[in-house]
Structure 1
Amino acid sequence: MKIKESWGSKLFDAFNVLLMLLLVVVMLYPMVYVFSASISDNAMVSSGRVLLWPKAVTLEAYGRIVANPDVWISYWNTIRYTVVHTALTLIATAAMAYPLAKKWLPGRRAVLLMAAFTLLFSGGLIPTFLVVQKLGLLNSIWAIVLPSLISTWHLFIMRTFFEALPEELEDAATIDGCGSVQVLLRIVMPLSLPVLASIALFTAVGQWNAFFDALIYLKDKSMYPLQIMLRNILIAGSNVQGEGDLDFVVTLKYAMIMIATLPILCVYPFIQKYFVQGSMIGGIKG
């Protein structure tokens, strides 16, 4: 028997649809505008005549960026920083979260309290810089990767996820002769793809967009990530070729934003299916 919906229910559904459509427009318009501005004539963009669709289409901005070897060097730096940081973060976070998920671990509560303490207080910029300097990590990839290797928030999410896994699976693997490391690698990690994908996405996006650590720890321009070049264009007002063509820098800004954003936009759809599941399970269960 078909249940007749009330006018209030229909009105509520219509309001939700309109609200979602409005949010979609609000989120998509900046991306559409940036793309349109990046392929439009610089004079059209500077005069404010490009509102949604491109005008006087030209690929000159992309041509200048692609022809610049510094862009590809910085692109490669960003890729390797992101890949190494994400991989090591997953390994280190899982290695720390798994034993902390066991209630029989001696000193478990003290370790968790010390980890939670870092959510409220940190050493600060200067002490962190001095530690990196004393360790001899300046002007290297490890200065970008190691200081932010483990996030306390990600650690708690993964620990809570591990606690929710059935203990019978680990007991069965232990009876079959697996050690703790084998249980983690062969049983726990394959069952934890949702939370691993969520943390990997958070870490990769954060590292891809990071530029402040590079400004502090890197001196060699050949090691600069892509975001430093984007910052120079957006803030310092310099163009990619360094020719002082300030009139053309407006279009270069938008073209550089598109190039810097495109990889994350391509990766996200493949991870999105794990995103909500991993965040919700890791943040609620336990």
Structure 2
Amino acid sequence: MNNQSFGDKLFEWAVHAILAVISVIVLYPLIFVLVASISHPEAVMQGEVWLWPKEITWMGYKKIFQNHEILSGYMNTILYTTVGTAINLVLSVAAAYPLSRRDFYGRNLIAALMVFTMFFSGGMVPTYLLVKKLGMLNSMWALIIPGAVSVYNILIMRTFFQSSIPYEMQEAASIDGCSNLGILTRIVLPLSLPIIAVMILFYSVGHWNSYFSALMYLTDRHKYPLQLFLREILIQGQMQEMLGVGDDSHARNVMEGEAIKYAVVIVANLPVLLLYPFLQKYFVKGVMIGAVKG
């Protein structure tokens, strides 16, 4: 590091400066929402809140935990995300592993057919009619089955299996009498924790943030995910602002809606923010260190 030229040092300083600016741009909205969720709604609406909370209040969080619909939506979202991610992961592994095997005949044709579906789809109306015909309307499966497999994620996982796990290891296990299922469960999956962690994060975030499928297929409010209730809160808040503030009761409703809006955003994103640190270590883990020697 001491032998760096002035140009190298200048470039390094520029990179650090750019990264610092990007970090501020990314972090500020998160910090603002967090600060606004514990600040007095009137101060937030008047633009007096920037980086520090003003007149700290827990009004929004109290309203959330008193609202049974928001709590039921939170539990529904956890259920949909857990079940959906598990199904996504199982099906992705089941599709990616055969496509990564050299001895699987027709794998290139099958992969090409799967890629074809990324460019063309049936559309929203045919998909709705299919879900209705299958009897999945107003059920959890309407949110999970239509998106049970992501071709993009399958291709990523297949590429990882091909490039990071030597085929010689699988051949050696096969010679020792290990079945294909045994190779998958005893060799491939234990060595694939990084890509599995990435898939869990991708799928879980997708399920957690999804609301459009629930908007189309669900009619029972008891089955609504949290995102639909958050959408209703945002729309109601915008309508109240458009109508203007009249009497004191209306002004109080507007301020309560403003507090609930920011508090729900924090509560809705907290599980994802807590999940990432546990999966981060697998992103850069040297999975093949010491796997093949000799």
TM-score by length of 1: 0.91
1:110-145, CA deviations, whole angstroms, 9 ceiling, x for partnerless residues?
211110101111111111111111111111111111
Out of 239, 264, 272, the position equivalent to 2:280 is 272
The 10-residue stretch of structure 1 (258-267 or 166-175) with the greater mean CA deviation from structure 2:
166-175
Give the alignment partner of residue 263 of structure 2, picking from 244, 252, 255.
255
> Do the aligned partners of 1:218 and 1:224 also contact (CA within 8 Å) in 2?
yes
Deviation at 1:246, TM superposition (A): 2.4
1:212 aligns with 2:220: no
Aligned mates of 1:169, 1:13 — CA distance in 2: 41
Counterparts of 1:116-127 in structure 2, within 5 Å, are 116-127=115-126
Q: Structure 1 residue 91: deviation in Å?
A: 0.5
**Separation (CA, whole Å) in 2 of partners of 1:225 and 1:276:** 33
Of residues 265-274 and 219-228 in structure 1, the stretch that sits farther from structure 2 once superposed is 265-274
Distance 1:275 1:3, change over 3 A: closer
Q: Take 1:114 and 1:62, find their aligned partners in 2: how far apart are those partners? A: 49
Structure 1 moving runs of 4+ over 3 Å: 275-278
- Tell me, in whole angstroms, the C-alpha distance in 1 between the residues paired with 2:31 and 2:255: 22
Say whether 1:68 aligns with 2:67.
yes
Which residue does 1:45 correspond to in 2? 44
Specify the SS of the correspondent of 1:178. coil
Helix, strand or coil for the counterpart of 1:4?
coil
2:145 alignment partner, SS class: helix
Match of residue 284 from structure 1: none
Q: Deviations over 1:87-130 (max 9, x none)?
A: 11110011111111123323222211110101111111111111
> Alpha-carbon deviations, 1:46-91, whole Å to 9, x = none?
1111111100000011001011121211111101111111111110
- Tell me if the contact between 2:64 and 2:71 (Cα under 8 Å) persists in the aligned partners: no
Letter in 2 for 1:37: A
Determine what percentage of the aligned residue pairs are the same residue.
Answer: 45
Matched residue SS, 1:147: coil
Number of residue equivalences: 274
Q: Deviations over 1:204-231 (max 9, x none)?
A: 1111000000001111111111111111
Q: Is the 8 Å Cα contact of residues 209 and 227 (structure 1) preserved in structure 2? A: yes
Contact 1:101 1:163 in 2 (8 A): yes
Look up the match of 1:166: 166
Q: Which residue of 2 aligns with 1:79?
A: 78
User: Are the aligned partners of 1:195 and 1:277 in contact in 2 as well (CA < 8 Å)?
Assistant: no
SS of 1:32 mapped into structure 2: helix
Letter of the structure 1 residue corresponding to residue 81 of structure 2? T
- Counterpart AA for 2:275: V
| 2: CA distance, partners of 1:182 / 1:270 | 28
- Offset at 1:176? 3.1
Residue 3 of structure 2 corresponds to which residue in structure 1? 4
Amino acid at match of 2:267: I
Counterparts of 1:143 and 1:149, CA distance in 2: 10
Q: Deviations 1:133-162 (Å, cap 9, x if unpaired)?
A: 111111111111111111111010111111
The answer to whether the aligner puts 1:31 opposite 2:39 as a matched pair is no
Distance in 2 between residues matched to 1:176 and 1:209, nearest whole Å: 45
Q: What is the aligned partner in structure 1 of residue 245 from structure 2?
A: none
The runs of 5 or more residues in structure 2 that have no matched partner are: 241-248, 287-294
Structure 1: runs of 5+ lacking an equivalent: 279-286
Post-superposition shift, 1:276? 5.5
Aligned to 1:188: 188
* 1:136 corresponds to 2:135: yes
Q: Deviations for 1:159-203, whole angstroms, at most 9, x for unmatched residues?
A: 111122112222232233322112111211111111111111011
Question: Following TM superposition, by how much is the alpha carbon of 1:277 offset from its aligned partner in structure 2, in angstroms?
Answer: 6.3
1:33 Cα offset (Å): 0.6
Q: Distance in 1 between matches of 2:144 and 2:19?
A: 38
Q: How far is 1:3 from its partner?
A: 4.9
Question: 1:72 & 1:113 partners in 2: Cα distance?
Answer: 44
Q: Which amino acid aligns with 1:185?
A: T
Q: In structure 1, how many angstroms separate the alpha carbons of the residues matched to 2:232 and 2:178?
A: 53
Counterpart residue identity of residue 201, structure 1: L
1: CA distance between counterparts of 2:259 and 2:15? 37
Equivalent pair of 1:44/1:55 in contact (CA under 8 Å): yes
